[in-house]
Amino acid sequence: MGFLSTLLKGREDGIRARVRRRIFGGGGPQSSPTRPAPPPPPAPAEAALGLHPEAPKDVTPPDGYEVVLHKDALKPGHVTEIIIGGRAIAVAHTHEGLRACSNTCPHADGPLGEGTLTGAVLTCPYHGWEFDLRDGSCLTNPSAKLPIFDVKIVGDAVCVKL
């Protein structure tokens, strides 16, 4: 009987059950009364990092710069990826202040915004190459270089020259 019921009504979490719930509501005649509520959406990366919800909009950045973050958004020792002007950059809060670099690792395109930060050294999450964010030098492979972008704080805004 269970197989026949499933064949006719569909699975409890299948598309037919979802359509029935949408039509008849959550407690519709065909839905399961014990179906658990869906899990809450995952916390956005911004919340996990303690990022301020938005970069200030009332700041005019210097020529060639873009506003990327609120100045208090990134906790010390954290790094994050930001898409700005169609480009992915990584912004890190080092012990010497905020630094910005390309988000793309020169080794094999690893996402440096997901790397780990120790002092001013950013470690790629893919294969562990280390980069000094003060000058972009690679501590693992001296022939590699990471593009570094100039950072200025204007009012409450972190501005990056792209």
Residue 158 beta carbon to ligand FES: minimum distance, rounded to whole angstroms: 24
Task: From 54, 10, 51, select the one nearest 30 (Cα to Cα).
Answer: 10
Task: Enter the tokens of residue 153.
Answer: 């704080």
Binding to ligand FES by CB under 6 A, coded x per residue (else -) over 56-95, reads ----------------------------------------
Which residue in 100, 110, 117, 160 binds ligand FES (CB under 6 A)?
110
Q: Which of the stretches 3-11, 22-30, 69-77, 121-129 binds ligand FES when contact is defined by CB under 6 A?
A: 121-129
CA distance 59 to 129: 36
- Contact call for residue 149 and ligand FES (CB under 6 A): no
CA distance 131 to 46: 24
**DSSP state string for 1-33:** -HHHHHHHH--TTSHHHHHHHHHH-TT-TTS-T
- Contact call for residue 105 and ligand FES (CB under 6 A): yes
- Contact call for residue 161 and ligand FES (CB under 6 A): no
Q: Which of the stretches 12-20, 30-38, 57-65, 101-109 binds ligand FES when contact is defined by CB under 6 A?
A: 101-109
CA distance 46 to 140: 30
3-class secondary-structure state, position 99: strand
Q: Are 79 and 124 in contact (CB under 8 A)?
A: no
- Residues in the interface with ligand FES (CB under 6 A) total 10
CA distance 115 to 106: 14
Q: Which of the stretches 22-30, 77-85, 88-96, 104-112 binds ligand FES when contact is defined by CB under 6 A?
A: 104-112
- Contact call for residue 129 and ligand FES (CB under 6 A): yes
Residues in contact with ligand FES by the rule CB under 6 A: 105, 107-110, 124, 126-129
